[in-house]
Amino acid sequence: MRITDETVADGVREQLFMLGEIPGALWTPADAVGPRPLVLVGHGGGQHRKGWEVTSRAIPFVQQCGYAVAAIDAPGTGDRPEHPEVRRLVATIQAGEAAGEPRGPEWRALCDVVAEELVPDWATTLDALQQLDVVGSGGPVGYYGLSQGGEMGFRLVPAEPRITAAVLGLIGSEWLLEPASRITVPVELALQWDDEGNPRDAVLALYDALGSVEKTLHANPGGHFRVPMFEIDSAVRFFARHLGVAPVA
Amino acid sequence: MRITDETVADGVREQLFMLGEIPGALWTPADAVGPRPLVLVGHGGGQHRKGWEVTSRAIPFVQQCGYAVAAIDAPGTGDRPEHPEVRRLVATIQAGEAAGEPRGPEWRALCDVVAEELVPDWATTLDALQQLDVVGSGGPVGYYGLSQGGEMGFRLVPAEPRITAAVLGLIGSEWLLEPASRITVPVELALQWDDEGNPRDAVLALYDALGSVEKTLHANPGGHFRVPMFEIDSAVRFFARHLGVAPVA
């Protein structure tokens, strides 16, 4: 892991890193010493590891719970190289959306292409992070991801036994029903009641399919991008309940 | 308002009172001075104002937010006199349940009979409570009620403009769709995914019908009586967000 940039603000240390070809970011308390819970944040489609949707979650997780929080760019985004197949599929999807057409097979194809690289990259990243003194191995690990970050979470969480709690949502892909049934860790699932691309019935079906004993659905009115800010606070408490809170240095 | 009993424990003052024929209970911080937000708690069917489901909410609301919290017995319960019509309807409903029959018209009849007295009694109680120094008039008022307390809340909240936020749930009566549409204050709505008496689709329809700009649905697995304890914590935060937190004496 090669640190390419480091800044400290508001008590939070942000380190950008490259792990082989994987561009990542790590946020920790500025005075962090010793192991602590880790939360992985998966960004949404077309976004990247330093986008507002990521940092708006990462900063409170660090400030309020003392966690380490990490994000990595998905293939074809952020500081990753151009990815012709991702580019082609996104262009086709966006053209369809502009024409008001329903989602075609390109959406699943895009998710499959991204996941094929991203899921193993998360495992590689988790391996490396757990070597750090401020993370440590064997501690609790959470995953947070909405929209395409939720799509990836439904694939990653059942495949990664180190993840012990997850906030997912804003996704209703029918092909996630099977992996959802293999998720057994506590889940908080976000549903936007008027989500244009993820009908409520599809998200409710995913909630129903989850194999977890503890699973909570949080529905709110409005479209895909209208998740209320108080749901960030809810995620903080969800992780605090399941991962614990870090000892103060 | 005649105080009939008063005890202080764990920093909470509990006062039982009679307001005319209405038996009530009021919980406040033991050292409370001056006005503060008020939360009315509606108990469930067959319960009463001092049942565990009421105090398990009232005590954290007082301890964590400094609120005044009040509950009153519904007609035919607790310290109210025998109510032959309530008694007859409850007996018919319970016999039907024991025989595994679907709910008949007695359930709506019971709700109508109870509400006919209880909704005006809540207004009378609110009038009296707002005369107290530790409550004050014109301050924020919340309502909390699940199950039959939710049924009553869907009737009370649209009729009582002093109520500015409500936690409701565990109810899916189709006749509540119309009053739900007249509720405009923020609502947190609880749904038990496997509720025997309140099918999820009926509760989701009530959520959809709510006229509130801010409305959040919290669904959890399990039957009617399996609401997770962390939903109490969620209600604390919901009210703190909408009613504010009381000044410390």
Give a three-class secondary structure readout of A145-164: EECHHHHHHHHHHHHCCCEE
Query: Quick check: B215 and A221 CB within 8 A?
Result: yes
Q: What is the rounded distance in angstroms from the CA atom of residue A88 to the CA atom of residue A113? A: 11
Quote the tokens at residue A191: 């549903």
Query: Quick check: A216 and B216 CB within 8 A?
Result: no
Provide the pLDDT for residue B103: 82
- Residue-wise pLDDT for B128-153, tens only, equals 999 999 999 999 999 999 999 999 99
- Residue with structure tokens 């190289």? A81
State whether the Cα torsion B120-B121-B124-B126 is positive or negative: negative
Chain A CB within 8 Å of residue B64 CB: no
Topology at the third CATH level for domain B2-243: Rossmann fold (3.40.50)
Quote the tokens at residue B169: 């749930």
Of B213, B216, B230, the CB nearest to A219: B216
In chain A, what percentage of residues exceed pLDDT 90? 94
Provide the pLDDT for residue B46: 87
- Cα nearest neighbour of B238 on chain A: A230
Residue B25, beta-bridge partner list: B16, B71
Q: What is the rounded distance in angstroms from the CA atom of residue A97 to the CA atom of residue A46? A: 14
Nearest 5°: phi and psi at A115?
-65, -35
Provide the pLDDT for residue B248: 59
- Cα nearest neighbour of B220 on chain A: A216
Quote the tokens at residue A230: 């108080």
Provide the pLDDT for residue B137: 95
Q: How many other CB atoms are there within 10 angstroms of residue B139's CB atom?
A: 18
β-pairing, A141-146 vs B12-19, is unpaired
Provide the pLDDT for residue A159: 97
Residue B19, beta-bridge partner list: B22
Contact A181, A209 (CB under 8 A): yes
Residues of chain B positioned with their CB less than 8 A from the CB of A221 = 213-215
Chain A CB within 8 Å of residue B226 CB: no
* ipTM exceeding cut-off 0.90 for this assembly: yes
Of residues B12, B5, B65, B14, the one with CA closest to residue B38: B65
Low-confidence ranges of chain A (pLDDT < 70): 247-249
Cβ-based burial of A31 (10 A; exposed 0-12, middle 13-18, buried ≥19): exposed
Query: pLDDT 10s per residue in chain B (249 long)?
Result: 999 999 999 999 999 999 999 999 999 999 999 999 999 999 999 899 999 999 999 999 999 999 999 999 999 999 999 999 999 999 999 999 899 888 889 999 999 999 999 999 999 999 999 999 999 999 999 999 999 999 999 999 999 999 999 999 999 999 999 999 999 999 999 999 999 899 999 999 999 999 999 999 999 999 999 999 999 999 999 999 999 998 655
Our CA-based measurement puts residue A161 at a distance from the nearest CA of chain B, in whole angstroms, of 23
Provide the pLDDT for residue B246: 86
Of A214, A219, A241, the CB nearest to B207: A219
Our CA-based measurement puts residue B216 at a distance from the nearest CA of chain A, in whole angstroms, of 5
Provide the pLDDT for residue B104: 87
Chain A CB within 8 Å of residue B217 CB: yes
Chain B CB within 8 Å of residue A216 CB: yes
Is pTM beyond 0.90? Reply is yes
Chain B CB within 8 Å of residue A237 CB: yes
Q: What is the DSSP letter of B143?
A: E
* Distance in angstroms between the alpha carbons of the first and the last residue of chain B: 24
The DSSP element (H or E) to which B92 belongs, if any, is helix B84-98
Provide the pLDDT for residue B116: 98
Of residues A206, A20, A35, the one with CA closest to residue A131: A35
Residues of chain B positioned with their CB less than 8 A from the CB of A233 = 237
Query: Quick check: B228 and A214 CB within 8 A?
Result: yes
Provide the pLDDT for residue A90: 95
